[in-house]
Structure 1
Amino acid sequence: MFFNRYRAAGNYYNECVARGSCSTSPEIRSLQEVILIFLRQLAFYELKLDELNASYFENKDTIIEGVVTLIATGEYSHEQMLEIVSKIYSKMLYARKEYLNFCSEHNLKCEDLKFTLKLNPKMTLPDIIQSGEKAFLLRYKKISPQQKNLNEILVMVIKSVSANLIRLKEYDKFDDVAYKNMLNCLNSLNYPRTSADKIKENIDNLARIDINLIDMLEQSQKERFGEITKKLVPQTTKPGKAVLVSGTNLQNLYEILQKSKDMKLDIYTHSDLLIGHAFSVMEEFKNLKGHYGSCFSNCVLDFATFPGAILLTKNTYPNIEYLYRGKLFSAEEIPPKGVIQIKEDDYSPLFEAAMEAKGFTHGREVEPVEVGYDKEETLAKIHSISEKINSGEIEHLLIIGLSDNSDTQEEYFRKLYALLPEKSFVITFSYHYRTENELYVNLVNNLPEAYNFLKEIFALVPVNSENISFFFTKCDANSISNIINLSNLGAKHIYLTQCPPYVINHNLLSTLKSLYHIMPTTVPSKDIEKILAE
C-alpha cells in the first residue's frame, strides 16, 4: 500500500473542492486515532520483543501498511475499516501476550502499557469511533499545544518513511535500520511526557533516514527498469481493446505489459505512470501504446470515459466514489470499496474484462507529451546555470517541485513567472511556460528521480546558497519530510503552497514556520518582493 496514499491533498483536493466536501470528518479523525493508538502500542511490543531477542520484527508488514492506511481511511467501507482496525488490534494483543509470556517464562520484570482503548467482539464501528473520540481528547489534554503540533509533524514523517519502506518492498528490498528508527518514533507517541526538544530531535533524525530511503528507491528503479531517458509519449488512442494502468507502481505496470504482450490488448498509462515510458526497459514492450487522460484536472472523467478495464496499481487511492465500478480492479490486499481485487498477481480477470469491454472503436488524435530527460544534455545545462550564478548573470534561482497541477497553482505560477526579474532562472518539475530562463524536467511526480536530479544540481550549487528559493507545491507527508531535510541542510528560502486545513491546519503551519523557517506562499507580487529582498 502506498502513494498515491502519501499524496494526501493532490487530485482529491481539486475534485473535493468542486463538490464542497474538503474536510476530514470527525468520524474519520477518530478512526485514524484508533488505528494510531493500536499501531503505537504494537510498536512498543515489537521493540520489546526485539530487545529480548524473542522475535525479529514479525509485525513489520502490519505496522508499515497500517501507518500508510491512515492516509486512505476515507476510501474504505465500514466493513473494511472494521477489518483493518480488528487486524491491527489482534496483532497488538498477540504481540503483548507473546511478550508477557516471555517475561514470565524467564522471570523478567517487564514494562507494560496501560491501555486507553479496548475493543470487544460486540463493538460496532460507531462504538469504535466513539471510543476513538474519547481517546483523542484524552491524549491532547496531557500535552502542550507545541508538543501536539510536533507529534503531528512526527506522524507525517512516520507516514513518509513507512510509504517509502513499502515501495522498497516492491523491489524485494527493505531497510531494517530505517524500520527500527520509525518504530522508536511511533513508540514515542506512547509517552506524553516526551519533551518538545526530544520530539523535534526524533523528527529531524527520521527525516534524514527518509532521504536515504529515497536514494535507495532511485537505485532500485534504475536496477529494475533501466536509466531514465527523454521520451515523446503518444496520447493518441487507437482502435482496439485496451487496459488502463493508473497510479505510481511501476512494477505493476511492468507485470501487466509482460503478461499481456502476446494478447490483442493495448496498454495505456494514466496519471503518474506517464513516467514509465521514460525508462529504457519499458521500450521493449510494443503493447505499451501511450498515455490516456489528464488526471491532473479530472480523474473521475478519465476513468468514466475509458472504454476498457482499469487497474489501480498497488498503493493508489484516487477519489473513485462516483465511478462505475465494474471495470475497476486493484491489486491491494484490501481494495477500495466496490473495486474488484486482483489476487496472487493473477491479472486474468482484468484482461477478460478488457476483452469484453467495448474498447476504442476509432482513434483520437492528441498531441504527444515529453517526459524524462537526456542526462548528458541536462547536465550541460546545469553546469551552465552554475557558471552563470557564480558570475552574477543569474542572481535568483527558483526550484519548483513536483505537483498535482491544480488550477489555483497554475494561475499562481503563471503570474509569478510574469513578475520574474531579468537575472532570474527557474528549474521546474511541474509548472512551466516555455521561457528562455527556464529548465523544465517532466518527471511526473516520481520523487526518487527528482531527488537524483537535485543531487546533480546541489553538487554544483550548494543547497544553502542565498541564491536559491524552493517552492513546494504539494502538502503530503513526503513533502513535509523533504522540507525538514532541506531546512536542516541550511536552505534559506523555502516556500510552501497554501495547504487545505484538513492536511495542515493553521497551528501546525505556525510550528513549521517557527522551527523550519517555511514561508507559506501568498500572492505572486508579495512573494517576488520577498525573493528580491533576500
Structure 2
Amino acid sequence: MFCYQCEQTARGTGCVTRGVCGKSPEASDLQDVLVHAAKRLATRYANVPAAERPASLAPMLEDALFVTVTNVNFDTASILGMIRDVVAAAGAPAAGVAAEAPEDTLLAWSRASMIDARKATLGDDVTGLQELLLYGLKGMAAYAHHARQMHRADPVVDAFMVEALAKLDAGVADINELLALNLKCGEVTINVLALLDAAHCDTYGKPTPTPVLMGHVPGKAILVSGHDMVDLKALLEQTEGKGINIYTHGEMLPAHGYPELKKFKHLVGHFGGAWMLQQREFPKFPGAILMTTNCLMQPFEDYEGRLFTRNLVAWPGIAHIEDRDFTPVIKAALAAPGFTDTVRTGEHLVGFGHDAVLGAADKIIGAVKAGEIKHFAVIGGCDGSEGERSYYTDLGTTIPKDWVILTLGCGKYRLLGHDYGTVAGLPRLLDMGQCNDSFSAVKVALALADAFGCTVNELPLSIVLSWFEQKAVCVLLALLHLNVKNIRIGPRLPAFLTPAVLKVLVDAFGLKPVGEVEVDLQAMSNAA
C-alpha cells in the first residue's frame, strides 16, 4: 500500500504498512483498484453525450469515490463488490479486465495507476497535482452523494466528474492543465455546495440559532454520528414515542438548528466531541450508536456489538443497516441500560447559517462602520489528533474581543468550551454548521463584499483552515477558484502538496501554512 491522502499520514510522507486511520493494506490497495475502475468507467462515457449516459453513471462514480475517502469504508468484501459492479458497468473491453477476475488480477490491472508507480514515472510534482485533483473529486463526490440522498443532482457536477476522471485515466501530466483542472474542480464544488445547501434548507427548513444541551438526560439512548441528516430524520421518525432519546455526535451537532429536526422532542442533546475521540467516548455511551458517513474509527470490543453502520460506511464484522430500517438499532438501544442521571456540561448555540447571519446584515454592517466590529475570522475545517491543533484553540481565545469568529466543520471543537461573549449585540462565535455547510461561509463573505462595494480580499476577513481529508481539499479549491487569497492552512501541509506545487499556490494565492499564533494574529491584524 501507499496512501498519503490525509494530513495525518505516517511520518508526513505516506502510510505503507497500515493506515493511521486503521485501514489495512488490502483495503488500501482495493480502494486504489476502485478508483482506477471509476476512471475506466468515466473514460468509457467521456465522449458520449450527457443525455445518452446511463442514469446510474453519476451516482456510481460518486459512491466509488466517496467509499475511498478517509474513515469511510474498511471492509474489503464490500469494496471488492463495488469494484466488480463498476468494472461490469464499464464493460470488459473498456475496462480491460473482467468483473469476475480474481483479486490479484484486479490488483495487477490497476498497478500502473497507483501512486508509487506514477511517482516513479511522472515525479512527485505531477503526481501530487493529479492527487490534488483526485482528492478534490472525492470531496466533491461526498457532497454530491449527500445531495443525491435528498433527490438533488446537478448535471454540471455529474459532467465534470466524468471529464476529470477520464483526464486522470488518460494520465494528464501537463502542470498548467492540471492546475486548470484543479481550479475547475473548485468552481464545480461551489455548484455542489450550493446544491447541498438548498437541499438541506428546502428539506429541513432554514437553520435558526438554537441552544443545544451538551450532556445527557435519563433514559434509553441512540447516538448518531457522521453527517447524514436524511438518516437522522428517518431515525427520529422511527423512534418517536418509543422512550428513546436521540443524541448527536461529531458533525451532527448542527442538526439541532433545523426546524424539521428539532421539532422532535426526543432529539435531546449532543454527546461527546470531535470524531477522533470516539474510541474514548463511545464506551461511555450506554446505548446504540449509528455511524452514517465518514469519520469511523476502528471499533473497540466494549461497544462494537451496539455499533451500526449505514450507507457507504463499513467495518468488517459490524452490523450494517440497509434501506433505513433502523429496527436493529432501536432493539439495541432498548436492550442497553441507557443513562440514569443528568449531566449538563453547558450549551452550545448552533444554527448560524447564511440566512441567519445575513438576516442581521444591517446590524453587522452598521457595527463595522461604527468600529464596533473590526474583523472577521473564519476558523474551522477538520479536526484531528495532533497536539499542534491546539493552535486553533489558542488563536480563537487570543483574538481581540472586537472580532467575530465564524466556525464550521468539526474544527469547531477546538473552539468550544470558551465564553467568547458578544460584540455589537451579536455572539462573537457563530457556528455555521458542518463542513457540508461551507457554502454558508462563502455566501456570507460574498454578500458582505457586495454590501461594502469591495472584493472578498478587501474585506476585514481572515481565513484559517484546519486540514485533514478530502472534503477539505475541494473546499480549499473552491476558495482558490473564487480568488480568495492569504488563506492559512494547517497544522501541517499534506504530503502530496510538494514544495514546487506549494510555491505555485503561494505565488498565485498567497496560500500559507499556519505559524505561531502571535505572529499570525499580528499579520491578520495588520491586514485588517
Match of 1:196 in 2: 175
Give 5+ residue unaligned stretches, structure 1: 1-6, 98-112
Match of 2:327 in 1: 348
Find the structure with the greater CA-based Rg.
1
TM-aligned CA deviation for residue 163 of structure 1: 1.4
Q: Does 1:284 align with 2:273?
A: no
Counterpart pick for 1:226 among 198, 202, 205: 205
TM-aligned CA deviation for residue 243 of structure 1: 1.4
TM-aligned CA deviation for residue 186 of structure 1: 0.7
- With 127-136 and 164-173 compared, the bigger mean Cα shift is at 127-136
**TM-score w.r.t. length of structure 2:** 0.82
Q: Does 1:490 align with 2:483?
A: yes
Counterpart pick for 1:180 among 146, 149, 159: 159
> What are the superposed Cα offsets for residues 139-194 of structure 1, whole Å, 9 maximum, x if unpaired?
44553544322212211221122112111111111112211112101100122355
Note closer, same or farther for the CA distance 1:70–1:224 as it changes in structure 2 (3 Å cut): same
| Contact map agreement 2:6 2:468 (CA 8 A) in 1 | yes
Question: Does the residue aligned with 1:67 lie in a helix, a strand or coil?
Answer: helix
Within a 5 Å distance, the mapping from 1:114-133 to structure 2 comes to: 115=96, 118=97, 123-124=102-103, 128-129=106-107, 132-133=110-111
Within a 5 Å distance, the mapping from 1:358-369 to structure 2 comes to: 358-369=337-348
Note closer, same or farther for the CA distance 1:328–1:362 as it changes in structure 2 (3 Å cut): same
Counterpart pick for 2:298 among 320, 326, 335: 320
Counterpart pick for 1:56 among 51, 54, 57: 54
| Contact map agreement 1:242 1:354 (CA 8 A) in 2 | yes
Note closer, same or farther for the CA distance 1:345–1:377 as it changes in structure 2 (3 Å cut): closer
Question: Does the residue aligned with 1:367 lie in a helix, a strand or coil?
Answer: strand
**TM-score w.r.t. length of structure 1:** 0.81
Residue type of the partner of 1:316? N
Question: Does the residue aligned with 2:54 lie in a helix, a strand or coil?
Answer: coil
Q: Does 1:477 align with 2:470?
A: yes
Match of 1:160 in 2: 139
Give 5+ residue unaligned stretches, structure 2: none
CA distance in 1, matches of 2:26, 2:390: 34
CA distance in 2, matches of 1:46, 1:89: 13
TM-aligned CA deviation for residue 85 of structure 1: 2.7
TM-aligned CA deviation for residue 374 of structure 1: 9.0
- With 466-475 and 399-408 compared, the bigger mean Cα shift is at 399-408
Question: Does the residue aligned with 2:456 lie in a helix, a strand or coil?
Answer: coil
| Contact map agreement 2:288 2:306 (CA 8 A) in 1 | yes
CA distance in 1, matches of 2:182, 2:507: 15
Note closer, same or farther for the CA distance 1:407–1:77 as it changes in structure 2 (3 Å cut): closer
Match of 1:71 in 2: 69
Residue type of the partner of 1:439? R
| Contact map agreement 1:463 1:486 (CA 8 A) in 2 | no
Note closer, same or farther for the CA distance 1:194–1:326 as it changes in structure 2 (3 Å cut): same
| Contact map agreement 1:80 1:334 (CA 8 A) in 2 | no
Match of 1:460 in 2: 451
- With 250-259 and 134-143 compared, the bigger mean Cα shift is at 134-143
CA distance in 2, matches of 1:10, 1:254: 33
Note closer, same or farther for the CA distance 1:388–1:529 as it changes in structure 2 (3 Å cut): same
Q: Does 1:46 align with 2:45?
A: yes
- With 444-453 and 38-47 compared, the bigger mean Cα shift is at 444-453
Match of 1:87 in 2: 85
Residue type of the partner of 1:469? S
TM-aligned CA deviation for residue 492 of structure 1: 3.0
Sequence identity (%): 20
CA distance in 2, matches of 1:33, 1:243: 34
How many positions carry a matched residue from both structures? Answer: 501
TM-aligned CA deviation for residue 487 of structure 1: 3.0
Counterpart pick for 1:243 among 198, 222, 236: 222
Note closer, same or farther for the CA distance 1:512–1:321 as it changes in structure 2 (3 Å cut): farther
> What are the superposed Cα offsets for residues 299-322 of structure 1, whole Å, 9 maximum, x if unpaired?
112221111111112x23421333
Match of 2:432 in 1: 443
Note closer, same or farther for the CA distance 1:372–1:393 as it changes in structure 2 (3 Å cut): closer
- With 187-196 and 270-279 compared, the bigger mean Cα shift is at 187-196
Note closer, same or farther for the CA distance 1:499–1:29 as it changes in structure 2 (3 Å cut): farther
TM-aligned CA deviation for residue 73 of structure 1: 7.3
Note closer, same or farther for the CA distance 1:503–1:319 as it changes in structure 2 (3 Å cut): farther
Match of 1:33 in 2: 32
Note closer, same or farther for the CA distance 1:383–1:370 as it changes in structure 2 (3 Å cut): same
